[in-house]
Amino acid sequence: MTPSPFITVSELAAALAGTQPPVVFDASYILHSPAADGDYRAEDARASWEAAHIPGSRYVDIQQQFSDPDAATHYSHPEPQAVADELARLGIGEHERVVVYDTTDTMFAARLWYLLTWIGVDAVVLDGGLAAWRAAGHPVKSGDVATEPSPVTPWTVSAPREAWITKEELVSRSESDSRPLVCGLPAESFAGTAATRYSRRGHIPGSVNVSSRDLFAPDGTVRGENELREAYVANGVTGDEEVLLYCGGGISATANALTLAELGVTAVRVYDGSLEEWSADESLPLEVGK
């Protein structure tokens, strides 16, 4: 049985009290809703981490620390070794366990989880994030109290798994390709009825919509196995074939990957550029409506 990619609050509390506590990262990042088409506003959430965080956790900035600074889109993944080198700079060895959480609907925690598991790191996501931690009565800390970590000797990434699909691969897909292409954006963004941060509205032709936000309950915890499976199967995603995932900028799609992993489906790849890249190319089609 495939291990769950989630850790519960009680499991994390017990692990932190143990002899080999995991490293805990807060990966929160604020991506504002667009007021009009092309309105892209984002900022780090360090201030919210300083206001309240799990004791001993450290804040990481997805944009600055775990994205390719030379890429044309905002959150493009860096090379595998760059991810490992940043972890080593943060004092994280190759075989340490990492727990990731956020205060932003698990979307950015999922992104960091995807990057870490891509290169073989033992990483899990805290189910429900900081809200679940606080709801269970566990303490939080405030202030910039994290001790500056001592870097460890850099380690070499040997065999990262296949985790990404490119625009060129999607453009060249044949009509007979039966692998599902899943958009993780909310229904209104998929249909093109809501403002978009990007150049044009709509979705990639042939894709289906499984909104990643709908896969989590109002309290932020992941929905049960039956609900998750029904959401995917209703859109033709059975897990029998590789699943291709995209969204607006490669964030929500990783929450789809996270929930699919909860179902034991790990043959997935994410289109990192997603609609940010696709919509910027006027030669590529977008569909509106369901």
Q: Specify whether 82 is located in the same domain as 171.
A: no
66 domain-assigned: yes
Q: Specify whether 198 is located in the same domain as 267.
A: yes
* pLDDT interval class at 176 (50, 70, 90): confident
105 domain-assigned: yes
pLDDT digits (tens, 9 = 90+) for 91-112: 999 999 999 999 999 999 999 9
249 domain-assigned: yes
Q: Specify whether 130 is located in the same domain as 168.
A: no
Domain with 175 in it: what CATH number?
3.40.250.10
Q: Specify whether 127 is located in the same domain as 170.
A: no
Q: Specify whether 125 is located in the same domain as 209.
A: no
Handedness of CA 112, 116, 121, 124 (dihedral sign): positive
Q: Specify whether 94 is located in the same domain as 185.
A: no
* pLDDT interval class at 175 (50, 70, 90): confident
Q: Specify whether 126 is located in the same domain as 169.
A: no
* pLDDT interval class at 149 (50, 70, 90): confident
Q: Specify whether 195 is located in the same domain as 103.
A: no
Q: Specify whether 131 is located in the same domain as 10.
A: yes
125 domain-assigned: yes
283 domain-assigned: no
In this structure, the number of other CB atoms found within 10 A of the CB of residue 265 comes to 22
Determine the distance from the C-alpha atom of residue 73 to the mean position of all C-alpha atoms in its chain, rounded to a whole number.
Answer: 16
The length of the chain in residues reads 290
3-state secondary structure of 222: strand
Domain stop point among 116, 135, 154: 135
**pLDDT of res. 145:** 65
pLDDT digits (tens, 9 = 90+) for 25-59: 999 999 999 999 999 999 999 999 999 999 999 99
Flag whether pLDDT at 146 surpasses 60: no
Flag whether pLDDT at 118 surpasses 80: yes
pLDDT digits (tens, 9 = 90+) for 183-200: 999 999 999 999 999 999
Distances (CA, A) of 285 to 103, 165, 279: 35, 18, 8
The maximal CA–CA distance of the chain, rounded, in angstroms, is: 57
The candidate with the shortest Cα–Cα distance to 166, out of 287, 266, 254, 269, is 269
For residue 184, the surrounding DSSP H or E stretch is none
Give the structural domain span for 81: 6-135
Distance CA 12, CA 252 (A): 24
**pLDDT of res. 225:** 97
Flag whether pLDDT at 20 surpasses 70: yes
The candidate with the shortest Cα–Cα distance to 122, out of 113, 131, 130, is 113
Q: For residue 110, which amino acid is it?
A: A
Flag whether pLDDT at 223 surpasses 60: yes
Q: Specify whether 32 is located in the same domain as 114.
A: yes
Q: How many domains does one find in the chain? A: 2
1 domain-assigned: no
34 domain-assigned: yes
**pLDDT of res. 21:** 95
Q: What is the mean pLDDT of the chain?
A: 95
Distance CA 86, CA 153 (A): 11
> Position of tokens 């590789």?
242
**pLDDT of res. 290:** 76
φ/ψ of residue 200, rounded to 5: -140, 155
247 domain-assigned: yes
| Listed range (148-152, 191-195, 232-236, 271-275) with the worst mean pLDDT | 148-152
**pLDDT of res. 1:** 65
Distance CA 148, CA 57 (A): 12
Asked whether 5 and 99 are in contact (CB, 8 A), the reply is: no
Distance CA 261, CA 63 (A): 24
Q: Specify whether 87 is located in the same domain as 189.
A: no
* pTM beyond 0.95, yes or no: yes
Q: Structure tokens of 244? A: 């291709």
